[in-house]
Amino acid sequence: MNLILMGAPGAGKGTHAKDIVARFDIPHISTGDILREEVAKGTELGTTAKSYMEAGKLLPDDIIIEIIKKRLQEDDCRNGFLFDGFPRTIVQAEMLDKIADIEAVIYLKCDDDILLKRLTGRRMTEDGKIYNIYFDPPPENVKVYQRDDDNEETIRERLKIFYDTFSPIMDFYEGKGAFYEIKGDDAREKVFDTILTILNIM
């Protein structure tokens, strides 16, 4: 099963990706997570990525395409994969089309005021668990941190870039009959049920 979870920053891609891959036993490929790991390791790629990410800007397509081509060659992708945060430009989508058949693109559509609250309230653990001080607060004994790009100024830039780049990608996948738009601002369980309904009828 080759899937893409799409949506503005804060739409719930990472949250629902974890539930989907647990159910379907496919790898969760998040370009954001890959880049944050490189930043944490202090690699050359990480140093480059840091400046783009802190400003809320997209990395150049050639860097991202290289990462994806390499990742798809790994053994765990043989039975499928779930992309989160990729493709983010039409160039990335067209490149992906040359190397993989995408069965479904699920777009989590949310209102901006909800996105802003979700992102300013997001807290993470070092092992990747996602909490939210407003909707799903971390237990008192759990150590959490806030992402560097989850401040209001950077969030607004990330949202702007999303809306500037999304429409040609949506047209591209709608043209292939693989595009499903769902309400991402419902409760987490309800959104996941809708995703499962789509994946079970494919």
State in angstroms the smallest separation of the CB of 176 from ligand AP5: 19
Per rule CB under 6 A, is residue 166 in the interface with ligand AP5?
Answer: no
Q: Is 32 in the site for ligand AP5 (CB under 6 A)?
A: yes
The one among 81, 86, 172, 179 contacting ligand AP5 by CB under 6 A: 86
Q: Does 187 bind ligand AP5 (CB under 6 A)?
A: yes
Task: State which residue, 39 or 178, has the beta carbon closest to ligand AP5.
Answer: 39
Taking the CB of residue 90, how many other CB atoms lie within 10 A of it? Answer: 16
Q: Is the dihedral of CA 63, 68, 71, 72 positive or negative?
A: negative
Tokens representing 170 are 């949506």
Contacts with ligand AP5: how many residues (CB under 6 A)? 36
What is each CA distance from 174 to 43, 177, 178, 194, in whole angstroms? 37, 5, 6, 19
User: Which of residues 4, 26, 39, 158 is near ligand AP5 by CB under 6 A?
Assistant: 158
Indicate the residue among 10 and 26 with the shorter CB distance to ligand AP5. Answer: 10
CB–CB of 15/188 below 8 Å? Answer: yes
Q: Give catalytic residues, as residue numbers.
A: 13, 88, 122, 147, 158
> What amino acid is encoded at 6 in this protein?
M
Give me Rg for the CA atoms of the chain.
16
Three-state DSSP state, 134: coil
In the complex, the residues that contact ligand AP5 under the rule CB under 6 A are 7, 9-15, 31-32, 35, 52-53, 56-59, 64, 85-86, 88, 92, 118-119, 121-122, 130-132, 135-136, 149, 158, 187-188, 191
